Structure formats: C-alpha cells, structure tokens
Amino acid sequence: MICFAHRGASGHAPENTLLAVKTALSMGAAWIELDVFAVENELVVIHDSRLERTTNGSGEVTNATLAYLRSLDAGRGEKIPFLREVLDTVAGEAGINIELKGADTATLTASMIESYIAKDLFRADQFLVSSFNRRELQNFSLLAPSIRTGVNLSGPPLQDARFAEALAVYSLHVHKNSVTRAFVEDAHRRGFKVFVFTINHAEDLASMISIGVDGIFTNYPELYAKNQ
C-alpha cells in the first residue's frame, strides 16, 4: 500500500500550497498529490477552476494573469505555488502525483518532468501523472511515454477495469464510494494498480485494506502512518 498526501497534507495546511507540501514531507509522506492548471505558460498548483474557495481572489484561474494569481493569499499567507517551486522543494524526497486539471497542461508537464529528471532531482519512477481528462492524459503519454500515468474515474465503471486497457495506464484512481473488491480484483488481473480517494477516516482505511487496494489519497498522512 502506498499513501498519497492529497493536495499536500491538506488536513493540516492550506491545500496545494508549499506549506501543505512541506508539512507532508515532514510527516514522512512517500507521495504527494497536486492539481495543476496552465496559465501564461506556467503550471500553477490549485484544485478548483475558480479562485473563490481557496484564495482571497475571484474569477476563473485560466482567465487570470500570473501576476494576479501570485498576488493572492491561498491561506495562512501562502501563495498559489508554481509546480516548479513544489518540485524544487521536494527535490526527490517524495514521489509526485501531478493531476492534470486544466486544458493544455500535458505539454508543459511533460517538459517540466523531463527537465527535473535531467537535473537528477527526481527519478522517472517518482512521477505519476493523472487526470479525469483522458484526452489530456493521452497527450501526456505520447510526449512522455516512460512516465507512469493514472486515470481518474468520476464514478463506477460499467465493465470493471476493461476500459483502461486502451489507455495503457499504470493505475486507476477511484472514489471510495465506487470501488469494490470485484473491481480491485479485475483491475489486478489486468495488471493495474488501484488507488482510492479520499480516505480521511480509520474505518474507510480499514475497509480499503480489506478489499486489497494498492494505495490511498488522504488529507491526513498520519492516518496511514499509524497503520504501518
């Protein structure tokens, strides 16, 4: 089982900020999940397509200028980080799951990953790129075929894991309410890992362990650490 600190250690620090990333590292998280959008040729780390919930700004992320985005408070005085700032901070101390949220994120993500591997700050197997957007994910795989990818499912699939065979992904990321033991077994037979979001309670963790999932996303990395 592996544990992803979801949006950083977002149960302890404002989500998708450097503080959440540093907190996850200090808690010993082996993997950190973050969401990205592309703005003015930069990857910015934020979950929603709008600014209101997590910052003191307003409007659509992709309609904003970088200068405006960087002027905002993303909680406790933290800025909306650039992905490169996160990668410089983590520097290979944990794996990074980059979730492609926005349009046109695949190209920038592929070249950024390549540059951090070239700089020897990360190994290729310390990256996992995922998305609900299968087109963006496919674009990414064409550009960076050696980097693992995961497909996010927004609901229960009709035919277990069969759909993923055409996607050539490493892992299937499933909501906790959509995952069953049969799905996990089917995914494993087809060679996929199953990672489940978002597991913030001990009873959910126990239930996920009992059906044999390979990993969980949690806002509270200590929940998982206690079970080791």
Catalytic annotation present for 6: yes
Q: Which of residues 170-189 bind ligand G3P (CB under 6 A)?
A: 173
Query: What residues have CB less than 8 Å from 134, skipping those under 6 apart?
Result: 151, 167
Number of helices and strands in the chain (H, E): 8, 9
Peptide bond between residue 54 and the one before it cis (omega within 30 degrees of 0): no
Q: Which stretch binds Mg ion (CB under 5 A): 35-43, 105-113, 131-139, 142-150?
A: 35-43
Per CB under 6 A, does 148 bind ligand G3P? no
Q: Which residue carries 């989500």 as its tokens?
A: 15
CA 68 – CA 161 distance, rounded (Å): 42
Closest approach of Cβ 150 to Mg ion, in Å?
11
Instruction: Please say which residue, 68 or 132, places its beta carbon nearer to Mg ion.
Output: 132
Instruction: Please say which residue, 118 or 177, places its beta carbon nearer to ligand G3P.
Output: 177
Per CB under 6 A, does 37 bind ligand G3P? no
Contact 171, 193 (CB under 8 A): yes
Which residue has its beta carbon closest to ligand G3P? 197
Catalytic annotation present for 188: no
CA 132 – CA 153 distance, rounded (Å): 6
Closest approach of Cβ 120 to Mg ion, in Å?
27
Instruction: Find the catalytic residue in 12, 47, 175, 188.
Output: 47
Per CB under 5 A, does 99 bind Mg ion? yes
Cα dihedral across residues 42, 47, 49, 53: positive or negative = negative
DSSP 176: T
Give the footprint of ligand G3P on this chain (CB under 6 A).
Answer: 6, 33, 35, 47, 99, 130, 152, 173, 197, 217
Give the footprint of Mg ion on this chain (CB under 5 A).
Answer: 35, 99
Which residue numbers are catalytic? Answer: 6, 47
